[in-house]
Amino acid sequence: MRQSRNQSAMEYLTTYGWAILIIAIVLGALFELGVFSGSAFVPTVNSGSCIVQRPYGPGTTEQISLQGACNNGLPKYVSMITNGYVVINSESRSSMLNLTTNNITITAWVYVNGSLSTSQSQDVIDRENSYGLELHCNPSSGKCGLEASLGSNFNQYGSFPMHKWVFVAISSQNNHIYAYVNGTQVGTENVSDPIITPTFYDTYIGCDMGSGGCPNDGIDGYISNVQIYNTMLSANGISALYAEGIGGDPIDLHSLLAWWPLNGNGNDYSGNGNNGNATNMVYITDWEPNYQQP
């Protein structure tokens, strides 16, 4: 009787083993694509679903609050920057983006395709002659580094892979710079030169106007949820922003200068009116592969 049962088990495995193996491989592939991550079942939100309300006007902080569906929902769109960019004109309220201290935090979610044939700088955001956040990527290695472009300082930190959504941030206070990837500090440095000098130049998302005109030094991929604060967020603050995910809401409203979700437009939802004009921008909805909710 035992021999008969063993024979039946072997026959079952022989008959259905390949099917079981194929199912396991398919499930493994779907898991790697994030199909079974929590983000796959979270509804997306449209641009403007959550905004910062400033009852007393741009630049004020009295009774400031978040209004709307402010639950860190996944964006419906992200911006494909490869041949496009956003410009925030200095003649508008973007003068608020001028800083008179060396305290700043810039955060963004980025995805680098790695299709460029040569290594080059890729600008997430650039405030001409003042401050910015750049990536330096090497397609041959499949890796990128983070650069804090602050004043005359160009310092590179950390390493992260292409072909995956990554949260990047730089934060500085006085002359001390911190760099973060996915909420973890990857570098720090003291610098001797002043970091921030007030200017009235334009601000660009997705390119560097100073290197020959946009879209030079543009991101070879996608950007989402760019935030600028006029303070140095702590390591815990950066970690909290990362934990919110790609649709995360700002965490320090009193210090928030600008918030560009890039969820279908270049508008600023910080309540400070730093709206951007998008050129050759493409907004895509099928952005979730290779994104995993923290």
Secondary structure (H, E, C), 216-235: CCCCCEEEEEEEEECCCCCH
Q: Are 142 and 184 in a shared domain?
A: yes
Q: Are 87 and 210 in a shared domain?
A: yes
For the stretch 207-256, pLDDT in tens is: 877 656 676 777 889 999 999 999 999 999 999 999 999 999 999 999 99
Give pLDDT, residue 15: 59
Q: What is the mean pLDDT of the chain?
A: 83
Q: Are 274 and 157 in a shared domain?
A: yes
Higher pLDDT, 253 or 36: 253
For the stretch 174-189, pLDDT in tens is: 888 899 999 999 998 8
Q: SS3 for 176?
A: strand
Specify the CATH number for the domain of residue 268.
2.60.120.200
Q: CA-to-CA distance for 25 and 12, rounded, in angstroms?
A: 19
Judge whether 289 lies within some domain: no
Q: Are 17 and 84 in a shared domain?
A: no
Judge whether 5 lies within some domain: yes
Judge whether 161 lies within some domain: yes
Give pLDDT, residue 129: 75
Bridge partners, residue 282, by sequence: 80
- Is the predicted pLDDT of residue 36 greater than 70, yes or no? no
Within 153-289, where are the H helices?
235-244
For the stretch 126-159, pLDDT in tens is: 887 788 899 988 888 889 999 887 766 667 888 8
Judge whether 267 lies within some domain: yes
Q: SS3 for 247?
A: coil
Q: CA-to-CA distance for 202 and 126, rounded, in angstroms?
A: 9
Judge whether 221 lies within some domain: yes
Q: Are 27 and 67 in a shared domain?
A: no
Q: Are 60 and 188 in a shared domain?
A: yes
Judge whether 37 lies within some domain: no
Q: CA-to-CA distance for 57 and 255, rounded, in angstroms?
A: 15
Q: Are 16 and 147 in a shared domain?
A: no
| C-beta of residue 272 within 8 angstroms of C-beta of residue 68 | no
* pTM score: 0.83
Give the model's confidence band at 41: pLDDT under 50 very low, under 70 low, under 90 confident, else very high. Answer: very low
Judge whether 39 lies within some domain: no
Q: Are 1 and 133 in a shared domain?
A: no
Q: Are 202 and 98 in a shared domain?
A: yes
- 59 phi and psi angles, rounded to 5 deg: 85, -10
Range(s) of the domain holding residue 172: 44-284
CB neighbourhood size of 169 (10 A) = 26
At which residue do the structure tokens 């990536």 appear?
Answer: 135
Q: Are 53 and 129 in a shared domain?
A: yes
Give the model's confidence band at 35: pLDDT under 50 very low, under 70 low, under 90 confident, else very high. Answer: very low
Judge whether 98 lies within some domain: yes
| Total domains present in the chain | 2
Q: Are 240 and 130 in a shared domain?
A: yes
Q: Are 194 and 89 in a shared domain?
A: yes
Give pLDDT, residue 70: 94
